[in-house]
C-alpha cells in the first residue's frame, strides 16, 4: 500500500520536527512556526541520510526501533493526564468534544466493515450477535453507540474514574443494560486474566472477540508490540481490529499540537506527545508482523470551525485503519505463533 522509499523519505522529513519543537518552546509566533513547518526538504533529506547511516538497515523504519521497550502498554504519565479529565467525558463542548463528533465517521466505519465481513444482522440492530472489545474506552463515548447497534461491548480503560463515569452514563440507558460492560484494566491485564480464568469481566472472552477497537488510544501507549500481540490474542481468527490515530507528520505537529492544543485549545495542552504518533506505514508494518492483514486505511480531517470531521484522500493528519487477524502467521506454524504471543504476554505480566 505504501512504498518503502516513500516511508524512508517521510521518516527523514519528520526529524525536522525536533527543531520545530525547540523553537516553539522558546515562544515563537505562529508565522515563525508556520515558516518552520514549511522548511526545506533539503535539510530533511540531509537529516534522513544521517539517520539512516546511524541505524542498522533492518531497523530503519521498524516502528519498534523508535519506541522504548517498556514491557507494558501503560504510560503512568498518560494515566495521570486522563485521570484529571475523568469527569469531563460527557461534556459535549469540553475537552472531548472532537471525540464526540468523531463518532460521525468512526461508528459507520466500524459498522460497515463489520457488516461486510459478517453480513447484515437484525434490522435496527445490525451488529447483534457480535462481541466487541473497546480498548481505552474512556467514558464510553464510542462504547455506547456500538452497543446501540446491537453488539455486546466490553469497554476497558486503566483509569478507574473514567470507567466509573462510563458505567454511570451507560446506566441511564435501559437499551444498553446487559449489553455494555466496563472493566478498569489494561489490555494486557485482560489478556492475562483470560489466560488464567477465562473471564474478562463482561463475560468470558475465551471464544475471542469479533472485533477490537482502539480509537485515539495507540498514541497514548508505552508499547505497541505488546498492544498488537494482545489484540491478536483476544480476537477470533478473522476478527477485526479497528484503530484510529494520528499520523507522525509535520502537519500533525503543527495542527494537532501547536494549533489544537496551544493556539485554539480544542484539547487540553499536553494531551499529545508527537514522539508517540505513528505513521500508517509503520503501524501497518507492526500489525503485519503481529499476525494481522491490513484491509484499509482512510484519512480523516477535523475542521475546527465547524467542529465536524470528514474523510480525506490522504492521511497527513488522522486516519482510521481496519485490519483482520490472519489465522496463521506466514512462515510460522500455529504452535510457534502461540509461543511468541505467550512470551510477549509473560514479559508484560512480569513487570
Ligand X SMILES: C[S@@+](CC[C@H](N)C(=O)[O-])C[C@H]1O[C@@H](n2cnc3c(N)ncnc32)[C@H](O)[C@@H]1O
Please tell me whether residue 229 binds ligand X under the rule CB under 6 A: no
Nearer to ligand X, 268 or 299 (CB): 268
Q: Would you count residue 220 as binding ligand X (CB under 6 A)?
A: yes
By C-beta, is 137 or 286 nearer to ligand X? 137
- Min dist. Cβ of residue 20 to ligand X (A): 23
Q: Measured between alpha carbons, how far is 127 from 224 in angstroms, rounded to an integer?
A: 28
225 binds ligand X (CB under 6 A): no
Among residues 106 and 285, whose Cβ is nearest to ligand X? 106
Q: Examine residue 148 and tell whether it contacts ligand X (CB under 6 A).
A: no
**Interface characters, 176-215, with ligand X (x: CB under 6 A):** ----------xx---------------------------x
CB 63 within 8 A of CB 282: yes
CA geometry: angle 177, 179, 183, nearest 5 deg = 95
The nearer residue to ligand X, 16 or 157, going by C-beta atoms, is: 157
DSSP 217: -
Choose which of 33, 141, 246, 278 interacts with ligand X (CB under 6 A): 141
Instruction: Sheet containing 308-312: give its strands across.
Output: 180-184, 152-157, 131-135, 209-215, 235-246, 318-325, 292-303, 308-312
On the 0-12 / 13-18 / 19+ scale of CB atoms within 10 A, 97 is: middle
CA 141 to CA 16: how far, in whole Å?
A: 35
159 binds ligand X (CB under 6 A): yes
| Distance separating alpha carbons of residues 347 and 351, to the nearest angstrom | 7
Q: What is the Cα–Cα distance from 163 to 156, expressed in whole angstroms?
A: 7
Residue 105 engages ligand X in binding (rule: CB under 6 A): no
Burial class of residue 228 (count of CB atoms within 10 Å of its CB; 0-12, 13-18, 19+): buried
- Contact between 323 and ligand X by CB under 6 A: the answer reads no
At 77 the three-state DSSP class reads helix
Choose the binding region for ligand X from 19-27, 49-57, 158-166, 204-212 (rule: CB under 6 A).
Answer: 158-166
Measured CA to CA, the distance from residue 178 to residue 202 in angstroms comes to: 9
Q: Does 109 bind ligand X (CB under 6 A)?
A: no
| Contact code string over 67-96 relative to ligand X, x by CB under 6 A | ------xx---x---x--------------
162 binds ligand X (CB under 6 A): yes
- Give the span between the Cα atoms of 223 and 286, in whole angstroms: 11
Q: Count residues contacting ligand X (CB under 6 A)?
A: 22
List of residues contacting ligand X (CB under 6 A):
73-74, 78, 82, 99, 135-138, 141-142, 157-159, 162, 186-187, 215-217, 220-221
Amino acid at each position: 500500500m505504501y512504498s518503502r522509499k516513500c516511508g524512508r523519505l517521510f521518516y527523514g522529513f519528520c526529524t525536522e520536527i525536533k527543531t520545530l519543537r525547540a523553537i516553539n518552546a522558546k515562544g515563537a509566533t505562529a508565522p515563525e512556526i508556520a515558516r518552520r513547518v514549511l522548511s526545506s526538504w533539503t535539510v530533511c533529506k540531509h537529516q534522513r541520510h544521517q539517520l539512516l547511516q546511524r541505524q542498522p538497515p533492518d531497523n530503519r523504519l521498524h516502528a519498534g526501533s523508535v519506541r522504548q521497550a517498556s514491557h507494558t502498554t501503560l504510560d503512568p504519565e498518560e494515566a495521570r493526564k486522563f485521570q484529571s479529565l475523568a469527569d469531563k467525558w460527557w461534556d459535549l463542548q469540553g475537552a472531548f468534544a472532537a471525540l464526540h463528533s468523531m463518532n460521525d465517521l468512526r461508528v459507520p466505519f466500524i459498522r460497515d466493515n463489520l457488516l461486510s465481513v459478517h453480513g447484515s444482522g437484525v434490522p435496527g440492530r445490525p451488529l447483534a450477535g457480535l462481541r466487541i472489545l473497546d480498548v481505552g474506552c474512556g467514558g464510553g463515548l464510542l462504547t455506547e453507540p456500538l452497543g446501540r447497534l446491537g453488539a455486546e461491548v466490553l469497554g476497558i480503560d486503566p483509569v478507574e474514574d473514567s470507567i466509573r463515569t462510563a458505567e454511570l452514563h451507560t446506566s441511564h440507558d435501559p437499551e444498553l443494560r446487559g449489553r455494555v460492560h466496563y472493566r478498569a484494566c489494561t489490555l494486557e491485564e485482560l489478556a492475562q486474566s483470560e489466560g488464567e480464568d477465562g473471564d474478562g469481566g463482561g463475560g468470558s472472552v475465551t471464544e475471542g472477540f469479533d472485533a477490537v477497537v482502539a480509537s485515539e488510544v495507540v498514541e497514548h501507549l508505552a508499547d505497541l508490540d505488546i498492544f498488537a500481540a494482545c489484540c491478536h490474542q483476544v480476537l477470533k481468527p478473522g476478527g477485526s481490529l479497528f484503530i484510529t490515530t494520528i499520523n507522525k507528520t509535520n502537519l500533525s505537529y503543527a495542527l494537532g499540537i501547536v494549533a489544537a492544543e496551544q493556539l485554539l485549545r480544542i484539547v487540553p495542552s499536553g494531551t499529545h506527545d508527537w514522539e508517540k504518533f505513528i505513521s500508517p506505514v509503520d503501524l501497518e508494518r507492526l500489525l503485519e508482523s503481529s499476525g494481522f492483514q491490513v484491509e484499509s486505511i482512510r484519512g480523516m480531517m477535523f475542521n475546527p470551525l465547524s467542529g465536524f470531521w470528514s474523510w480525506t484522500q490522504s492521511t497527513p493528519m488522522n486516519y482510521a485503519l481496519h485490519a483482520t487477524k490472519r489465522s496463521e502467521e506466514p512462515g510460522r506454524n500455529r504452535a510457534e505463533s502461540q509461543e511468541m504471543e505467550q512470551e510477549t504476554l509473560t514479559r508484560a505480566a512480569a513487570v
